[in-house]
Homo-oligomer: A and B are copies of this chain.
Amino acid sequence: MAELASAPAETPVDPANWTCPAPLRDQPVVVMGHGGGGALSAELIHDVFAPAYGNPTLAAMGDSAVLHLGGARLAFSTDSHVVRPLFFPGGSLGDLAVNGTVNDLAMSGARPAYLSAAFVLEEGVELSVVDRVARAMGAAAEAAGVTVATGDTKVVEAGHGDGVYVTTAGVGLVPEGVDIRPQRARPGDAVIVSGPIGLHGVAVMSVREGLEFGTGVSSDTAPLADLVAAMLAVTPDVHVLRDPTRGGLAASLNEIARASGTGVRLRERAIPVPDAVVSACGFLGLDPLYVANEGRLVAFVPPTEAEAVLAAMRAHPQGSGAALIGECVAEHPGMVVVATALGGTRVVDLPLGEQLPRIC
């Protein structure tokens, strides 16, 4: 689906009046980009899922829903994982399945507690492969301090799956006084990323295409709930958290800008991009801002708290490479721009689909 992974358009998309390009409208079918976390995914949610089971909880559109049940304030989230290949440098489907949901819960400020794990297996896949995935999940769950409490397994005929798909859901407790959601971004907020970007996407691509980029790039897959707890210990008034997975930093920041009606201005030089990611992206024609991460977060925090939060992040293993990369602005609401190293400014648009399908 290379046509969906082309460079972002020059003009920003108006979310209220977004219409799919005519070629897709003429063939009203699912394309790879509908799973890419970009504009096509947003359209699917807006046009299909929200009307079908529309309700205010879903409409809040955070990485996880925050809800009240039995006196507890819970975060609840789910992700299906269809990454290909199942094992890649630095991680596996099992790691992503645990860390992906753990991190979605953490992006509400929650302490993740319990996960479910539902497998869709393809007839003929070796049981040893299923075992490796399950063991990776067990190890990742232990590392993240969560319990896999319930599960399910279905099998589909050969040719109707791809080895192993895993869907996890998770629940966690949101501390009192914490209210983290994209709508809370405010002009003046500092925009912080927790470490170097692009490693996960490049690591998966390297094995998928049989390429080698420099001296081995490993996925950044990691649980982020501890890092979030360290940040909240500085101030409960963190405004927004997001883990920039599919669609990368570009998609996450565009979603936040649109949800909050603010703009985002980044400084290109401040964004930590490893040399190996730069060279791999150059080779493949990708933009690191659009490449998926699985162990990074982007935070919007009040400017008065930025230094202290940054220091707490840098003192944590998952945030040692944290950097202040820009700020939230009142100008160009809904739009993300980056001040380039050469002194220019370019728009960082919401991607249409995904540069790298099946990355998580």
Contacts and interface: CB of A to CB of B under 8 A. Distances in A.
Copy number of this protein in the oligomer?
A: 2
A155 B357 CA distance: 8
Contact of A44 (B36, B41, B153, B156): B153
Interface stretch (A117-125, A263-271, A319-327): A117-125
A147 B162 CA distance: 31
- Output the residue of A44, A125, A167 with the most chain B CB within 10 A: A167
A149 B116 contact: no
A119 to B, nearest CB: 7
A88 interface: no
Contacts of A128: 28
B74 A31 contact: no
A16 interface: no
A30 B123 contact: yes
Interface in A139-159: 141, 147-157, 159
A308 interface: no
A53 interface: yes
Contact of A80 (B55, B82, B154): B154
A68 to B, nearest CB: 9
A30 B127 contact: yes
A49 interface: yes
A357 B155 CA distance: 8
Interface of A: 1, 28-36, 41, 44-45, 48-49, 52-55, 57-58, 64-65, 67, 69-74, 76-82, 113-114, 116-128, 130-131, 134-135, 137-138, 141, 147-157, 159-162, 165, 167, 169, 171, 173, 357-358
Contacts of A150: 57-58, 64-65, 76-78
B69 A32 contact: no
Contacts of A52: 131, 134-135, 137-138
Given A35-B153, A131-B52, A70 B71 contact: yes
25 contacts: A28-B126, A31-B155, A34-B121, A35-B153, A45-B153, A48-B127, A49-B134, A49-B153, A53-B117, A53-B138, A53-B148, A64-B150, A65-B116, A69-B72, A78-B116, A78-B117, A78-B151, A81-B154, A82-B156, A120-B120, A155-B357, A160-B161, A161-B161, A167-B167, A169-B169
Contacts of A118: 78-80, 167, 169
A29 B126 contact: yes
A162 B120 CA distance: 12
Contacts of A67: 113-114, 147, 149
A76 B126 contact: no
B28 A127 contact: yes
Contact of A157 (B32, B54, B153): B32
Question: Nearest 6 A-B pairs (CB), nearest first?
Answer: A70-B72, A35-B155, A169-B169, A52-B134, A78-B116, A167-B167
